[in-house]
Each structure stands twice: as C-alpha cells, then as structure tokens.
Amino acid sequence: MHLPHLLAPITINGMTIKNRAVMPPMGTGYGSADGTVSDRLLVYLARRAQGGTGLIITEVCAVDTRGKGFPNEIGAWKDELIPSLARIPEALHRYGAKAALQLHHAGRETFAAAALGMPEAPSAIPSAILGQPCEAMSLERIASVIDAFAAAAVRARAAGFDAVELHGAHGYLLNQFLSPFSNQRDDCYGGSEENRMRFVLEVVAAVRRTVGPDFPVWIRVSADELIKGGYDLAFMQRLAPRLVAAGVDAIHCSVGVYSTPGNLAIAGMDTEPGFNLLRARALKSVVDVPVIGVGRVNDPRLADEAIGRGDADMISFGRQHLADPDFINKAAAGSYDDIRWCVACNQGCIERLSFEMKSATCSFNPECGREYQGPAPKAEQPQRVWVIGAGPAGLAAAMALAARGHRVEVFERQGEPGGQLIPASKPPHKAVFMDWVRWSLRQLEYRSVPIHCGHTVGADELKEQRPAAVILACGALPSAPSIPGLDLKIVADARDVLMGKIAPAAPAVVLGAGYVGMETADFLLALRIPVTVLEMLPTPPVTKLTAHGYWLHKRIKDGGGRLILGAEVLAIEATGVRYRQAQGDQFEPAALVVTAMGATSENSLEAVLKDLVIPYRRVGDAVSPRRVLEAIHEGHRAGLEV
C-alpha cells in the first residue's frame, strides 16, 4: 500500500483515527470576540477535514478569560459556550475526522487588552518577546486555573469533541511553570525540578479525574526550550513518564518557545524538514503511549518514513494544511504533482498574525481563510482575457480566471515564467519558492492556458486583438537614487547577480539591507565572496524576530559578512564605495557593487489600455513593489472579479 504507515489507523484510549495525519493547532484569528466559533473558523476547519486528515486539533481555546492570548480567541470558560463549540466536532465528523480541542492559558505571553487585565504567570517576569508586565499567581489563583482546565475539558466532552489537548508548549502558562527561564517561585510550585513539574501534573490529574478514564487526553510539550536558562530534552524525558502516570494518553512533541532564537516552534524555510523528529523519538523511548511528531514536515512521504522507522506514531502537518487542504487525499492517490507545497515562508500565517495583528492566511493559497465565502462563481459569459506578466500575480490571476471559465492567455516578456520568484529562489534555502511556480504552470496546462514567453505585448497588438479585459501584471524594474558612479562597470543589480548574469567578484558591497540586499549578501557569502552591506537606516530593515530574518543575520555574521547601518552612500568609485556615517566619511573597497535599493512599477501599457477603452486591472508589483503574499492574493482577487 502507498504510504502504509501514515495511512494506517491508530487507536488512542478507545478513539480510532482513520490515519496518522494530524492537523495541529494553529492560530488563525478567525474566532469571535465573545469566544464563540465563527462561521469563518468552522468552514476553514471543515475544509481541512474534507481533505482527508484523520485528526484535527483546534487552535488555542481559552480555559479562562484571563488566559486569552488574543482578543478573538475561542473559549471554553463557561457552559454557555458549549453549543458554539459543538459546531466544530459536528462539522469535522461529517468527513470522518476526529476532533480535539486544545485547552490553553497564555500566562505572560499575551497583552492586557486580550486578557482583560494584568496577565498572570508563575513569576512577575515579563515576556521576553512582548515585554508585557505580568503578576505572579497566588496559590488560590493556581488552584482556580487548575479547576478551569478541568471544567473546560468537561465542556469539550459535552460539546462532542473526541479528545482534548493541553497546551504545555511554546512558552504558555503550563510551559512557564516548567521552565526556570520563567518560573522563579520559591514555594511548592517553583525552585526544584520536582516543584516546577507540580502545576502541570496537577492540571493533567484534574482533567483526567473530571472527564473519566475513557476520554482521550494528551499534552503538547516543547521537548527542549532551546533557550538560555530554559529546560532541555533530558528534563522532558524525565517528565514524560510522569505525565503518562498522571493521565495523558499521548504526547505531542514540539520544540522551543517564542523567544527561542530562530523561532523554531514555527520553523521557517531555513530549517531542514523534519528537524524535530529526533526529539519525538527521544520521548517515544521513555513512554508507552503514542507520540505525535511535528517540526516543518510538509511531505507525506517523509512522514511515512518517520513513522516506519519509529520516530513517532503520528505526524502533524501544520502549515501544509494552509497551503493545500487536500494534500492528504492527493498523496493517498499518488498525485504529488497536484500538491501545492508549503514553503515555510511564515509571511501569511504566524508573522501576519503576530506582527501585523491580522488574521492568518497563506501566501501561496489565497483561498485560505476565505472558504466561508464559497467558491467563485463561474463566468456567466466567458471572455477572452489577457494576462500580461507571468510572475506570481499574473499566474494567480490566470488560474482564477481559467477556473471561472474565461479564455485566458498569458504573455511574459522574459524567456520563462516566474517573474521575481526566479531570482528570489536563488539565495540559500529559497529554492522552494519555485515549487509554487511549477505547480501553477501545471494547473494552467491542465486548463489549456497558453503562456507566451519572450513575448512583449505592445500597443499595436492590443489594438488589433482587442481582448475583452487585461490583467496588468508587468512587475517592477530596479531603481536606485541618483548616486555618482552608478554607471560604472563594477555596479550590478541584485537580480542580475542572483541570476548569474554578472560574474561575482571579491570583495563585494551590497547597497541596501532589505530582504533583497540581505539575501544577495547571503548568496555571495555562500560563494565565499566577502561582503559588506551598507544600509542608510539606523536599524536593520530585516528584523531578527522573524525566523528567516534571524537566520539571514546569523549566516551573514557567521560567514564574515558585515552590516553597516546609518551609512549614506555618497559615490561609487572604480575601486569601492564612499559613504558617510555620523563619525565622518568612510570608504569601503569593492570589486563588485550590488544595488538593492528598491524598484519602480512597470505600467507603460496602462495609457494604451485607457486609450483603447479596454477594461484592465493592475496587480502585484505593477501597483507597487510588495511581497509575494500581496502579489498572489491581489492577482487571485482580480481573477475572481473580472
């Protein structure tokens, strides 16, 4: 049988799951402000169950209003929420999936606005990431929260859930009690290892006592915090058997907390797929209950191999469920070419939720989070629509147009489709970006959409052919401020360097420390070219708080690269770059100067279309240079609306 291990059923405390694929909890921001389940969240979850996954664990569900991590977190803190919660298992059961509710208390990892007051924690130590002040919990408050977990589990069972998961990972309250990084109490809940384990073990025991022996209960843990002052894997190996003795039926093995360098709890594209399975195997060696492995696993074949060799009993696929809700059914059918792979960019999901305070989606799947709106209507009268530009925005528009039944043609002035994703895929760890391009081309080929490469559309052709509508996805062209010496032979655009059009030379100076500049520096350092990056701003435009940003900064530093901030470029000369800092004028030697200082939208056809009165939409970089998320989503939306 194809995928014999992943597709085999498994039973956890009387609950039989049809396969070993798990959708783990992932924050969406789709819940309602009053803690109820919205239609948007319900349809989103049901869509993943429809795709074939055996077990779906909801995103965090607050057991107490003071433990909410964000304002619209769903809740189980009162009986009145049971009817709302009941909608989830009812919807998931229709597709044969089991439903587990993740019970959560954020502790110090929240804001006063979400917790409706001062957040609480084992000790009054603010979150290392959020900086939000918090207060130490009293013994009475600890007892109250233990009761809240138990009562929420009873409500989950009453709502029809098949199981509950206790969130003991990622720096939330249960994790906070376990860790010397966040727990500096000197009473029976802090200090010694035994005391730091006490709260979690009491929560597990209370939940088990209230739901009875025959209801599946498990816990998600960070097997190793991977942070200075935190606990390690050996500690969790000592705790895991005690969790089982206290009443858990399985262990969900994650890693890290939100302040772990590189954000390994939600590992980005710079981390190897399956990097955390070794920790699942380590926990599996000390317990006799199922262990769920997780950690940047997107390929069912990798999951099947991991289960087969004994790394874990089940595998969680997180963001892959966002990129393609049908990937389990597709893999079961052997249709791997039809799977839209998650690239672990984190732009649309965790970073959008955490840094932009917007509901989650997927950069490469514009339908993620919009399932409740229903499928796009078919075109009442199919039209001949031209898409000019085969970058991410153009390809997304073409797919949406073709799915609605329009007669679509795509024109690309370059020799191959992909647009900015082609050079973007060249730096280290970014080749996965082309997976989406190849997937898109297969989708368009399936719908017989022609793509004319090396074809520049001009005014005469538009006047002669007169398509019914045009999507302008022409992208953007490199731009730079007026700097003396930009025309010298040692100067090259970052994209030309990444595409191999310019031979690397040492030493190199990169002008601009945005993502393009930093990734080009990373690319050159991988070729052993010494690099200095000059940035005019006093702080790095690429933050170390994101997973990719952290690893970029680390690789550049470890590779001997230099990042000079507050550097105003004065002139480029034949042997280097002259720049000014607060302390005075400086000179940086260079045999290659790479410009990565921005881009300008290419819209030369807009005036032609206006003159010809041909309806058109600008999308992607043709509107203004932006990320792949905005380009794909904007192109998709235009394809739905034309």
Q: Which residues are catalytic, by number?
A: 172
d(CA 119, CA 114): 9
**What H or E segment, with its residue span, contains residue 222?**
strand 217-222
Asked whether the beta carbons of 317 and 297 are under 8 A apart, the reply is: yes
* Of the candidates 556, 545, 498, the residue with the CA atom closest to the CA atom of residue 346: 545
* Angle of CA points 326, 329, 332, to nearest 5°: 145
* 3-state SS class at 62: strand
DSSP codes, 560-590: T-EEE-S-EEEEEETTEEEEEETTEEEEEE-
How many Cα neighbours within 13 Å face the side chain of 274?
A: 16
Write the DSSP assignment of 136-171 as a string of letters: EPPHHHHHHHHHHHHHHHHHHHHTT-SEEEEEE-BT
Q: Report how far residue 305's alpha carbon sits from residue 296's, in angstroms, rounded to the nearest whole number.
A: 15
- The answer to whether residues 65 and 49 touch, using CB atoms and an 8 Å cutoff, is no
- Residue appearing with tokens 């970058």: 391
CA distance 98 to 95: 9
CA dihedral 175, 178, 180, 184 (to 10 degrees): 100
Q: Which residues pair with 484 in a beta bridge?
A: none
- What is the identity of the amino acid at 315? I
Q: Can you tell me which residue has the tokens 């009873």?
A: 154
| φ, ψ dihedrals at 102, nearest 5° | -90, 120
Tokens of 406: 């329009």
Q: Which stretch of DSSP H or E encloses residue 471?
A: strand 469-472
d(CA 630, CA 276): 31
Return the sign of the alpha-carbon dihedral for residues 267, 272, 277, 282. Answer: negative
- SS3 label, residue 538: coil
**Which residues are bridge partners to 75 per DSSP?**
62
Token pair, residue 452, equals 């004319």
CA dist list (Å): 285 to 200, 279, 282: 21, 10, 5
Strand partners, 87: none
Tokens of 429: 């760890």
The span from the CA of 499 to the CA of 348, in Å, is 26
Q: How far apart are CA 251 and CA 244, in angstroms?
A: 9
* DSSP conformational letter for 600: E
| Residue 112 in tokens | 């006063």
